[in-house]
């Protein structure tokens, strides 16, 4: 049985102002809705993930978060022995494959607790847990609260929507997108580094012979920085794959799903991006009655103009979040 739900206090005006200030810097001192227990790590993951075997392991883990997955299965996928994979993964990522799997599963579950009204049992199954009880125990170990307590706490602890952003809720549109193959490169670190990531990504593609003036950029976003610590936030810089015959060791071939998406245009500096996610996920989602898709990336940034050309200026993109059919 779950402990009785506690009532979290509303954030003070001072705390709210501080969270908004941090949001504008795209860099939270600590995640306001994050884990109560400090992450025990050997070191942070690399800014750019370049080890091809570890890339394969990370992609497999993230593609099967809702399914049982063993170390042996990951090892076979990466063509490494289980013991060698364990050592190599820990050396590169600062945590074991099992720790990475548990942490990312539970952080995705935390996102769904905040942005949806789904039952704890439904979220538990989506997170790959076979039972309600196992999920509650694992969630409590990581976040210090059971899921029902966390849902209330996290919604009150997160940065509120500013009054000037409220009219934008009505600008959200729903569109259908066909499946798209992309070439993606994984970066770790805060959102304050995203534009630098795009510049570095473009430099690597240019050196590999990709035609930069023909590329359509897509950012793949899986983490909420109000939950995940800065150095663990995942961001994929990607380009739509139109059949390029060139590659790079750090590139992964992925397929973006063909589903309906909630979309909101952003035509402003990148450091104004967080309110767009809040409008879509925390406000429009709860008001509209739509259900966000459980599988696939949490959200996509679909760029109308190459982000590496507009760094520190206005970026033009749609932020999109997948919806259930």
**Distance of CA 180 to CAs 199, 200, 239, 253, Å?**
23, 23, 10, 11
Coil, helix or strand at residue 251: strand
Check whether 289 has a pLDDT greater than 90. Answer: no
The band of 280, judged by pLDDT with boundaries at 50, 70 and 90, is: very high
How much is the pLDDT for 312? 84
The Cα–Cα gap between 317 and 216 comes to 11
Coil, helix or strand at residue 318: strand
- Please, what sign has the CA dihedral across residues 122, 128, 131, 132? negative
The Cα–Cα gap between 20 and 12 comes to 12
Centre a 10 Å sphere on the Cβ of residue 143 and count the other Cβ atoms it contains. 24
The Cα–Cα gap between 300 and 210 comes to 22
Strands (DSSP E) along the chain, which ranges? 173-176, 180-188, 217-221, 234-240, 251-256, 260-269, 299-303, 314-323
Mean pLDDT, rounded, for 1-14: 46
Of 26, 24, 90, 31, the closest CA to residue 57 belongs to 90
Check whether 227 has a pLDDT greater than 70. Answer: yes
Check whether 147 has a pLDDT greater than 60. Answer: yes
The band of 286, judged by pLDDT with boundaries at 50, 70 and 90, is: confident
Check whether 256 has a pLDDT greater than 50. Answer: yes
- pTM, two decimals, is 0.91
Contacts of 280 (CB under 8 A, 6+ apart): 172, 262, 264, 299, 319, 321
Mean pLDDT, rounded, for 190-214: 96
Check whether 325 has a pLDDT greater than 50. Answer: yes
How much is the pLDDT for 90? 96
The Cα–Cα gap between 235 and 192 comes to 11
Kindly list the structural domains of the chain, giving each domain's residue range(s) and its CATH number in brackets, ordered by start.
171-323 (3.20.80.10)
Tokens standing for residue 241? 């794959």
- Tracing tokens 């990709």 back to the chain, one arrives at 210
Task: List, in sequence order, every residue forming a beta bridge with 181; answer none if it has no partner.
Answer: 255
Mean pLDDT, rounded, for 54-71: 93
Check whether 193 has a pLDDT greater than 60. Answer: yes
Coil, helix or strand at residue 61: helix
Check whether 24 has a pLDDT greater than 70. Answer: no
How much is the pLDDT for 224? 94
Average per-residue pLDDT in the chain? 90
9 φ, ψ to 5°?
-75, 150
**Distance of CA 168 to CAs 116, 136, 171, 266, 283, Å?**
19, 36, 5, 10, 10
Check whether 168 has a pLDDT greater than 70. Answer: yes
The Cα–Cα gap between 83 and 81 comes to 6
Mean pLDDT, rounded, for 207-227: 96
Would you say 255 and 180 are in contact if contact means Cβ atoms under 8 Å apart? yes
């Amino acid at each position: 049985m779950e402990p009785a739900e506690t009532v979290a206090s509303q954030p003070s005006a001072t705390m709210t102002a501080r969270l908004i200030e941090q949001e504008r810097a795209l860099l939270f001192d600590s995640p306001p809705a994050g884990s109560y227990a400090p992450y025990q790590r050997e070191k942070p993951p690399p800014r750019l993930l370049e080890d091809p075997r570890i890339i394969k392991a990370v992609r497999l883990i993230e593609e099967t978060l809702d399914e049982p997955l063993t170390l042996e299965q990951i090892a076979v996928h990466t063509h490494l022995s289980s013991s060698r994979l364990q050592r190599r993964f820990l050396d590169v990522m600062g945590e074991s494959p099992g720790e990475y799997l548990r942490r990312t599963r539970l952080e995705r579950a935390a996102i769904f607790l905040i942005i949806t009204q789904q039952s704890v049992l439904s979220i538990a199954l989506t997170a790959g847990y076979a039972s309600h009880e196992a999920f509650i125990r694992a969630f409590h170990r990581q976040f210090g609260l059971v899921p029902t307590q966390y849902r209330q706490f996290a919604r009150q602890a997160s940065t509120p929507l500013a009054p000037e952003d409220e009219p934008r809720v009505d600008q959200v549109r729903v569109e259908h997108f066909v499946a798209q193959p992309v070439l993606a490169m994984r970066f770790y670190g805060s959102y304050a580094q995203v534009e630098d990531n795009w510049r570095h990504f473009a430099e690597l593609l240019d050196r590999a012979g990709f035609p930069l003036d023909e590329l359509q950029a897509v950012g793949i976003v899986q983490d909420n920085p109000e939950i995940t610590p800065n150095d663990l936030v995942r961001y994929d810089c990607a380009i739509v794959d139109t059949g390029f015959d060139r590659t790079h060791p750090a590139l992964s071939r992925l397929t973006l799903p063909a589903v309906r998406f909630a979309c909101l245009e952003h035509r402003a500096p990148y450091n104004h991006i967080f309110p767009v996610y809040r409008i879509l996920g925390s406000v429009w989602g709860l008001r509209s009655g739509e259900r966000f898709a459980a599988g696939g990336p949490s959200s996509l940034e679909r760029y109308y103009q190459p982000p590496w050309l507009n760094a520190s200026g206005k970026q033009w993109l749609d932020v999109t979040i997948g919806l259930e059919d």
